[in-house]
Chains A and B, each alone.
Chain A
Amino acid sequence: MIRTITYKEYLKIRRPFLAILAINLVAVAYVWLETRELFRKEHAEMVWYQVLQLGRLYYGALEYAPVAVGVALALVQFLPEMRNERIRLSLHLPVDASAMMLAHFGAGLAALCCCLAVQAAGLAWITRAWFPAEALTLAFGTWLPWALAGVAGYLGVVLTLLEPSFPRRLCNLAAAAGVVGLFYRDVPPGVYAGVLPWLVVSIPLLFLADLHPAYRYRSRRAG
């Protein structure tokens, strides 16, 4: 049954997913163009100075890409389910509701990971083409919080959409925004390294918290 549900999710999101994946490729191509332009305008040593010492972001186009992808995938996956309460049918199938919902989340997160992998591979390739290995550490130290914001964005929208009560939905949206906000502090590149192991704890908590509104939905709690 779980395999069938996963296949159903695959069928549902495959076309939008391919479109989102294509947008990610465009974003990576844009970063490549931006980086090339930097080196065309300035001497390489000045670009290295701007990037390594001053913290200039040649990959700034990727800052909100993960969270946009996360939110888009969650909407694509769960908005149709919420229309006419279709998800209620799934929630009353003869299968464990938790396993069934986790299969839904797993399918969405797998799609998100594919998009993030495209971004990560593109960023690594572009960085190593123009910069030494140290710049890669710095770039990923900056991009990783954005990627986690993408995961939080996906899980946060799921938490919001699955909630049957409108006032609680607003509260869940605020909580989701709070988790995403953890990864968007206005700080120079590389400073997240020490705190990331603490902040990442919010992701599994949010993942399991997503089951809570699903249970409420199944029990028809709108208060």
Chain B
Amino acid sequence: MRRLSQWCFAALLVGLLALYLPALYDKAFVMDMEKTHLLYSPTLKQFIWKEKVLNPPAEARAKAEDHHAEFVYRDESGHYYSREEFERNLPFIYYKNMELWGLLPLEIGGQTFDAAAIRENRRVLELKSNAIHGRAVDPGLYPLLESNPGQARLVFPEDRYRLTPDGLEFINADRNEVDEKLSRTFTAALEDAGFRFPARFVAGKHTILKAYDAGHFIVDATGAVFHLKRVNGEPRVFRTPIDPALGVRHIEVSESRNRDYYGLLLTEDDRIFLLREQGYALVKLPLKGYAPERMDFKVIVDPLYYTAVYSDDATIQGMAATLKNGVLHPVRQYTHTMSRAARSTAQIVRDAIFPFSLSLEREGRLVLKAHVGSRISLVGIGLALAVLAAMRWSRSGERFRRFGLVLVSGIFGLAASAMAFDE
């Protein structure tokens, strides 16, 4: 039992040290770099970005208008820009500044754009990897708002519904009881439209802080997508023409004043589409290397281009396209390795000291991740073994156990064995 308690103590200490020590080291010595902002410039006709770098080159320093030289503005050709030049090359993003600087209306490719035209044709739709259905926490109760509230502001209904194997079940919030009548009415309306229970999932934007209410999209047992709305208290169901064979995995609803797109639609095979309001038509985003599990995605719509930007921890990719007859035609694609991917000296030293580390990270839900060091970690393990070898021993059994622990866990094992395997 004594031996068991020693090993349990040692294992616990190794785990705790692997979790806390590298995190403490990172806080002290490793600069946490934000992701690069990559955008398509309609004036330069290429991608342009802003990112933080540890050692800005002289060219970037010369362009720094203030003391923030570590933020560099650069394009695909390698040119550096000042902040103002950067914004001037993105007139649809920074149109308010352009207006202040007296640069509106502006002319690009023979077309003239004023502030109102830019404002009316701007749109941003986002899908974070953590928000994908099944990854984010879903309480399983949904508020179906009144889409015709008869007033300026949207209000929450006094009920929520849940999905059951054979219908929708509405629960009245005032009484905290199932509303049988409402449940039957909405379930019947869905069934009448050809809905097959059990439903796979519900998609909607569950807030009243939005331009209007588009209702909910519900995917049925066969994969068909139904659009459910509450209009004047009554169910309104539309079976969308979206092909069930697409395998819809997630719909990110995002209502906008423009009334152009309901949002983004993701399929099981990682294809992503814009979901048009008009006829529920799908506009495919022709992306290369998009991996929704690990990449955040954003599409920026401006009066001329649709720019898709998606990134994981190290690489950011951009695809600019024009929309013609409901189809996006790529005009430029670019992949950029972000400055945050470069390994600093502090990170190399970290690998040498810590053979591995643990971390608790948010990926929708909290996950425990293990990061294994590199070959340089052998240096740290060797040093820890050397320290151990230099220590005095009264019992050879202790030496054997300690060497084993340090061999697999380096500095963590050295500290843990000193605490747990006392002679």
Interface size on B, residues (CB 8 A): 41
B158 contacts the other chain (CB 8 A): yes
Q: Which of A45, A185, A207 has the most CB atoms of chain B within a 10 A radius of its CB?
A: A45
Is the beta-carbon distance between B141 and A211 smaller than 8 angstroms?
no
Residue ID in chain A nearest B155 by CB atoms: A45
- Asked, given contacts A178-B20, A209-B5, whether A134 binds B139 with beta carbons under 8 Å apart, the answer is yes
Is the beta-carbon distance between A179 and B12 smaller than 8 angstroms?
yes
B29 contacts the other chain (CB 8 A): no
Residue ID in chain A nearest B369 by CB atoms: A195
Determine how close the nearest CB of chain B comes to the CB of A191; give it in whole angstroms: 5
Q: What is the CA–CA distance of A181 and B207 in the complex, to the nearest angstrom?
A: 33
For A168-193 the 0/1 string (1 means CB < 8 A from B) is 10010001001101100101111111
Q: What is the CA–CA distance of A159 and B176 in the complex, to the nearest angstrom?
A: 46
Is the beta-carbon distance between B141 and A48 smaller than 8 angstroms?
yes
B108 contacts the other chain (CB 8 A): no
Q: What is the CA–CA distance of A221 and B212 in the complex, to the nearest angstrom?
A: 72
| Residues on A with beta carbons closer than 8 Å to the beta carbon of B159 | 45
Q: What is the CA–CA distance of A204 and B9 in the complex, to the nearest angstrom?
A: 10
| Residues on B with beta carbons closer than 8 Å to the beta carbon of A216 | 422
Q: What is the CA–CA distance of A46 and B173 in the complex, to the nearest angstrom?
A: 9
- Asked, given contacts A45-B156, A134-B162, A194-B365, whether A52 binds B12 with beta carbons under 8 Å apart, the answer is no
- Asked, given contacts A44-B173, A132-B162, A209-B12, whether A178 binds B19 with beta carbons under 8 Å apart, the answer is yes
Main SS at interface, chain A: helix
A135 contacts the other chain (CB 8 A): yes
* Selected contact of B207 from candidates A53, A182, A215, CB within 8 Å: A53
Q: Which of A129, A132, A138, A175 has the most CB atoms of chain B within a 10 A radius of its CB?
A: A132
| Residues on A with beta carbons closer than 8 Å to the beta carbon of B362 | 187, 191
Q: What is the CA–CA distance of A195 and B12 in the complex, to the nearest angstrom?
A: 17
Is the beta-carbon distance between B176 and A131 smaller than 8 angstroms?
yes
B376 contacts the other chain (CB 8 A): no
| Residues on B with beta carbons closer than 8 Å to the beta carbon of A171 | 419
Residue ID in chain B nearest A215 by CB atoms: B2
Interface size on A, residues (CB 8 A): 50
* Selected contact of A45 from candidates B8, B137, B143, CB within 8 Å: B143
Q: What is the CA–CA distance of A209 and B5 in the complex, to the nearest angstrom?
A: 5
Is the beta-carbon distance between A178 and B5 smaller than 8 angstroms?
no
Within 8 A of A (CB), among B395-423: 419-420, 422
Residue ID in chain A nearest B8 by CB atoms: A208
Is the beta-carbon distance between B158 and A43 smaller than 8 angstroms?
yes
Q: What is the CA–CA distance of A113 and B15 in the complex, to the nearest angstrom?
A: 26
B11 contacts the other chain (CB 8 A): yes
Is the beta-carbon distance between A206 and B176 smaller than 8 angstroms?
no
Q: What is the CA–CA distance of A199 and B359 in the complex, to the nearest angstrom?
A: 12
Residue ID in chain B nearest A53 by CB atoms: B206
Is the beta-carbon distance between A185 and B13 smaller than 8 angstroms?
no
Q: What is the CA–CA distance of A52 and B5 in the complex, to the nearest angstrom?
A: 43
B160 contacts the other chain (CB 8 A): yes
Q: What is the CA–CA distance of A207 and B11 in the complex, to the nearest angstrom?
A: 12
B72 contacts the other chain (CB 8 A): no
Within 8 A of B (CB), among A52-95: 52-53
Q: Which of A49, A185, A189 has the most CB atoms of chain B within a 10 A radius of its CB?
A: A49
Residue ID in chain A nearest B364 by CB atoms: A191
Residue ID in chain B nearest A193 by CB atoms: B365
Is the beta-carbon distance between B360 and A185 smaller than 8 angstroms?
yes
A130 contacts the other chain (CB 8 A): yes
Q: What is the CA–CA distance of A175 and B13 in the complex, to the nearest angstrom?
A: 7
Within 8 A of A (CB), among B364-415: 364-368
For A78-119 the 0/1 string (1 means CB < 8 A from B) is 000000000000000000001000000000000000000000
* Selected contact of A195 from candidates B13, B360, B422, CB within 8 Å: B360
| Residues on A with beta carbons closer than 8 Å to the beta carbon of B16 | 175, 178-179, 202
B171 contacts the other chain (CB 8 A): yes
| Residues on B with beta carbons closer than 8 Å to the beta carbon of A210 | 5
For A136-154 the 0/1 string (1 means CB < 8 A from B) is 0110000000000000000
For B123-164 the 0/1 string (1 means CB < 8 A from A) is 000000000000001011101000000000000111110100
A-B contact pairs, 16 of them (CB 8 A): A45-B173, A47-B173, A48-B173, A49-B156, A53-B206, A134-B139, A134-B140, A178-B19, A185-B366, A187-B366, A188-B137, A195-B368, A202-B16, A205-B9, A212-B9, A221-B422
A contact set with B: CB distance below 8 Å: 43-49, 52-53, 98, 129-132, 134-135, 137-138, 168, 171, 175, 178-179, 181-182, 185, 187-195, 198-199, 202, 204-212, 215-216, 221
Known contacts A190-B137, A202-B16; 9 further A-B pairs (Cβ under 8 A): A47-B173, A48-B160, A49-B206, A175-B16, A191-B366, A199-B368, A207-B8, A212-B5, A215-B2
